[in-house]
């Protein structure tokens, strides 16, 4: 199976590190021209330096209306949109304020909606395109320690399904990737907040045993493993997969259906 995205332009939001950067690296490795986004120009340039291929960066806060406008002005059209940007963090569910709920919804959901609303019409007009959302196992198995995050990821499933229907019959597919517990810098920090400091391999096992015991992998997923699925869904090979929530969760979600 050969994934060839030569001649395709891909935009990956939240791509200066972690899953987003791994996705960008993977898509560039398939021949795509990749656009990285993030708020910190220095981190973006450092991320771009890790990619061997056609890469450019657009710095700015795409959660804001002005940042969104700047991005779409710099990159008017793309062939593949990967809505990866997201925030997460532990919080007492009874202490999450209205403002914090809104911040999670604005960042994790509304930013993706705006970008889809902008880029999807040109894709459908051309008769080819891919819109992808990085969702989470938390969309289905809501974690008690971060309900606001889980609910925002659940909302993305409705978003992708609705936009998939809007693109029906056009040659454009719209899907979500349900990423399981993944080993990123942010997740490692989050895990250490819950289990304390110590040798990482030991603390990773403790975190998975205590807080993610459903995982059949019994380890954190590496970002490249998420990227592999995104590369497939972004390719012509996945032409019959749309409106789907595709799991890369290490068996975390206890279900026999996707």
Provide the Cα torsion 47, 24, 212, 175; round to 10°.
150
Phi, psi of 197, rounded to the nearest 5 degrees = -80, 165
Active-site residue, 149 included: yes
Secondary structure of residue 100 in the 3-state scheme: helix
Task: Count the neighbouring beta carbons within 10 Å of the beta carbon of residue 255.
Answer: 11
Phi, psi of 38, rounded to the nearest 5 degrees = 175, 170
Catalytic residue among 133, 149, 232, 252: 149
Exposed e or buried b per residue across 32-69, where buried means at least 16 C-beta atoms within 10 angstroms of its C-beta: bbbbbbbeeeebbeebbeebeeebebbbbbbbeeebbe
Active site residues: 149
């Amino acid at each position: 199976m050969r994934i060839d995205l030569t001649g395709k332009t891909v935009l990956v939001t939240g791509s200066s590190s972690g899953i987003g950067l791994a996705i960008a690296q993977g898509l560039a490795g398939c021949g795509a021209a990749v656009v990285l986004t993030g708020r910190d120009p220095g981190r973006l340039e450092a991320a771009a330096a890790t990619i061997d291929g056609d890469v450019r960066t657009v710095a700015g806060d795409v959660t804001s209306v002005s940042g969104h406008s700047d991005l779409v002005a710099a990159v008017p059209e793309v062939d593949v949109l990967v809505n990866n940007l997201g925030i997460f963090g532990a919080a007492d569910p009874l202490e999450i304020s209205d403002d914090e709920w809104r911040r999670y919804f604005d960042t994790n959901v509304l930013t993706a909606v705006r970008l889809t609303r902008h880029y999807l019409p040109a894709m459908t007009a051309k008769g080819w395109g891919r819109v992808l959302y990085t969702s989470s196992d938390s969309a289905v198995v809501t974690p008690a320690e971060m309900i606001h995050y889980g609910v925002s990821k659940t909302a993305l499933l409705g978003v992708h399904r609705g936009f998939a229907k809007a693109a029906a019959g056009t040659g454009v597919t719209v899907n979500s990737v349900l990423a399981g517990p993944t080993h990123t810098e942010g997740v490692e920090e989050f895990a250490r907040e819950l289990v304390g400091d110590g040798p990482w391999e030991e603390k990773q096992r403790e975190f998975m045993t205590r807080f993610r015991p459903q995982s059949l992998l019994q380890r954190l997923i590496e970002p490249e493993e998420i990227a592999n699925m995104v590369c497939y869904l972004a390719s012509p090979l996945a032409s019959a997969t749309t409106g789907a929530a595709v799991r890369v969760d290490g068996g975390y979600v206890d279900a026999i259906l996707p």
